[in-house]
């Protein structure tokens, strides 16, 4: 862990526990800060809470007391999911107390250089691909951030010989002050999280924090096909490295004659890439730009892209059974994600969809459904999805009780050459605790097909 005096002798409030709050509190104490933790939930006797007490960290639970900022705090470290409308955060803003997220701490203590990846869609796939290719190229990467491992916890263990690859959400980036990656990647900007940010402009502004502190010696890998991304990149001081599906770029990654090219150098034939979908080609272009900037060989890039079948639950290839290719896209918890998944295939699709009913219709899905062969629906939204499928002109329809029965029905309705695709367009909480649990059930049911 790099020595820093940024937090020494500071009085710091950590707002919200979860994994990031625990990690931030422990590390800030190691760095010489006086830490107070406040969480919405009542405090229990868990080993984690006991550890904080052993470190002389005060823990206040059972809500966020509005008068907590009557104490003289120098800094607030907030859980990324807590909105700025929270009364404690509003009071902090009134008192001009800086508010950060734990990725800011990660930047200050990381011995390793940082590659930061953000965007509305594709972050996890791109982050994972960059990590895998750097590893194949013997660049000693570590992976962290929004992908599931707390950034500051990983950063505390880094050395100068390593590379810290970080997936970054808008929530995390909004709470940065000095954070500066060596390479930033901005994949795309769609209308997302507007309940948190208010407008697309504010959402984009949060994303653009990824390159606000970069200099000309750093790199910003940006999507030249996304006008909003390029507008944000206009204010970046970093060296811009564009990627594009549609146009040539002398200084970036692009496609020509069925090959991916980086700075006029052929890298790999598209036909050799296993990961399906036009959207994944964008992720791959961004990945290649980032790893080439880090000096990875073309051979290492090709070895990974010829075998990488996707991140678990994100358009993940499972296997082929009697000529039917089967994919798990349980992470598709909204209509846009399912539209993207459907667009990834040219083959006939048997779509498995359904889940939590949030009150919306599925009219937006109808244009995409027109290229689908059949729909098997389950969960609270089953009838709504089947109504949309009928509107799209699909006759091969079935309603079932759960994912297990959906797999059996899809296989029975399919033919050799078809794709069986779980892409629910809904959250999983009507029948599952998480989308991961739903995806695992799907995969287990697929494996049973071979047994049965």
pLDDT digits (tens, 9 = 90+) for 407-426: 999 999 999 999 999 999 99
Kindly indicate the confidence band of residue 280, based on its pLDDT and cuts at 50, 70 and 90. Answer: very high
The Cα 373–Cα 390 span in angstroms is 12
| Whether residue 452 has pLDDT greater than 70 | no
| Whether residue 291 has pLDDT greater than 70 | yes
Token pair 């990834």 in the structure block, residue: 344
The Cα 349–Cα 342 span in angstroms is 8
Tell me what pLDDT residue 379 has: 97
Binding site, annotated residues: 119-125
Q: Three-state DSSP class for 64?
A: coil
| Whether residue 264 has pLDDT greater than 90 | yes
Highest mean pLDDT among 44-58, 178-192, 280-294: 280-294
Kindly indicate the confidence band of residue 192, based on its pLDDT and cuts at 50, 70 and 90. Answer: low
Q: Does domain 11-100 have CATH number 3.40.50.720?
A: yes
Lowest mean pLDDT among 26-35, 204-213, 306-315, 379-388: 306-315
**What is the CB-side half-sphere exposure of residue 297 using CA atoms within 13 A?**
7
Dihedral sign from CA coordinates of 311, 347, 273, 122: negative
Number of other CB atoms surrounding residue 240 within 10 Å: 18
The Cα 440–Cα 37 span in angstroms is 35
Calculated CA dihedral for residues 291, 294, 299, 301, nearest 10 degrees: -10
Number of other CB atoms surrounding residue 143 within 10 Å: 21
Distance of CA 438 to the CA centre of its chain: 18
Q: What is the DSSP string of 278-344?
A: HHHHHHHHHHHHHHHHTT--HHHHHHHHTT---STTSSEEEEEETTEEEEE-TT--SHHHHHHHHHT
| Whether residue 26 has pLDDT greater than 70 | yes
Q: What is the DSSP string of 224-292?
A: TT-HHHHHHHTT--SEEEEE-SSS--TTSEEEETTEEEETTEEEEEGGG--S-SHHHHHHHHHHHHHHH
Paired tokens of 416: 């050799």
Kindly indicate the confidence band of residue 170, based on its pLDDT and cuts at 50, 70 and 90. Answer: very high
Binding site, annotated residues for ATP: 119-125
Where do the CATH 3.90.190.20 domains begin and end in the chain? Answer: 316-451
Mean pLDDT of 361-365: 95
| Whether residue 243 has pLDDT greater than 60 | yes
The Cα 170–Cα 193 span in angstroms is 9
Kindly indicate the confidence band of residue 451, based on its pLDDT and cuts at 50, 70 and 90. Answer: low
Q: Which CATH superfamily is domain 316-451 in?
A: Mur ligase, C-terminal domain (3.90.190.20)
| Whether residue 66 has pLDDT greater than 90 | no
Lowest mean pLDDT among 95-99, 144-148, 298-302, 368-372: 144-148
143 compared with 277, residue with greater pLDDT: 143
In this prediction the pTM is: 0.86
User: What class has domain 103-305?
Assistant: alpha beta
Rounded to the nearest integer, the mean pLDDT of the chain is 94
Tell me what pLDDT residue 102 has: 97
| Backbone phi and psi for residue 184, each to the nearest 5 degrees, phi listed first | -105, 150
Tell me what pLDDT residue 311 has: 87
Q: Which residues pair with 374 in a beta bridge?
A: 350, 396
| Whether residue 196 has pLDDT greater than 80 | no
The Cα 337–Cα 123 span in angstroms is 13
| Whether residue 442 has pLDDT greater than 80 | yes
Where do the CATH 3.40.1190.10 domains begin and end in the chain? Answer: 103-305
The Cα 391–Cα 25 span in angstroms is 53
């Amino acid at each position: 862990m790099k020595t820093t005096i940024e937090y020494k002798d500071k009085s710091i409030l950590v707002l919200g526990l979860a994994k990031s709050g625990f990690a931030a509190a422990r590390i800030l104490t190691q760095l010489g800060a006086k830490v107070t933790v406040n969480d919405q939930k009542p405090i229990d006797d868990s080993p984690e809470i006991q550890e904080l007490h052993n470190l002389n960290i005060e823990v206040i639970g059972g809500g966020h007391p509005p008068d907590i900022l009557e104490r003289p705090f120098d800094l607030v470290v907030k859980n990324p999911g807590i909105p700025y409308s929270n009364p404690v955060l509003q009071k902090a803003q009134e008192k001009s107390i800086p508010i950060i997220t734990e990725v800011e701490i990660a930047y200050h203590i990381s011995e390793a250089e940082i590659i930061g990846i953000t965007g509305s869609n594709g972050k996890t796939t791109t982050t994972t691909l960059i990590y895998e290719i750097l590893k194949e190229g013997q660049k000693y990467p570590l992976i962290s951030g929004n992908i599931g491992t707390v950034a500051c916890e990983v950063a505390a263990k880094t050395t100068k010989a390593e590379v810290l690859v970080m997936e970054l959400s808008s929530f995390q980036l909004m709470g940065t002050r000095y954070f500066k990656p060596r390479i930033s990647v901005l994949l795309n900007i769609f209308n997302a999280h507007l309940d948190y940010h208010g407008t697309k402009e504010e959402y984009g502004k949060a994303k653009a924090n990824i390159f606000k502190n970069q200099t000309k010696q750093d790199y910003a890998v940006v999507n030249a096909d996304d006008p909003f991304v390029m507008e944000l990149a206009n204010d970046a001081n970093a060296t811009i490295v564009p990627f594009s599906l549609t146009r040539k770029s002398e200084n970036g990654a692009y496609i020509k004659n069925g090959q991916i090219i980086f700075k006029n150098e052929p890298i790999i034939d598209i036909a050799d890439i296993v990961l399906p979908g036009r959207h994944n080609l964008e992720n791959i272009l961004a990945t290649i730009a980032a790893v080439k900037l880090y000096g990875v060989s073309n051979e290492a890039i090709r070895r990974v892209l010829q075998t990488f079948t996707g991140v678990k639950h994100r358009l993940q290839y499972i296997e082929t059974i009697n000529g039917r290719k089967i994919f798990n896209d349980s992470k598709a918890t909204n209509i846009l994600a399912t539209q993207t998944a459907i667009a990834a295939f040219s083959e006939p699709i048997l779509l498995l969809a359904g889940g939590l009913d949030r009150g919306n219709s599925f009219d937006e899905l109808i244009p995409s459904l027109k290229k689908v062969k059949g729909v098997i629906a389950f969960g609270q939204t089953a009838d709504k999805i089947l109504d949309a499928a009928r509107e799209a002109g699909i006759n091969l329809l079935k309603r079932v009780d759960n994912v297990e029965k959906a797999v059996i029905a899809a296989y029975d309705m399919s033919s050799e050459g078809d794709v069986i695709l779980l892409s629910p367009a809904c959250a999983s909480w009507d029948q599952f605790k998480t989308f991961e649990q739903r995806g695992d059930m799907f995969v287990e049911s697929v494996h049973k097909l071979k047994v049965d």
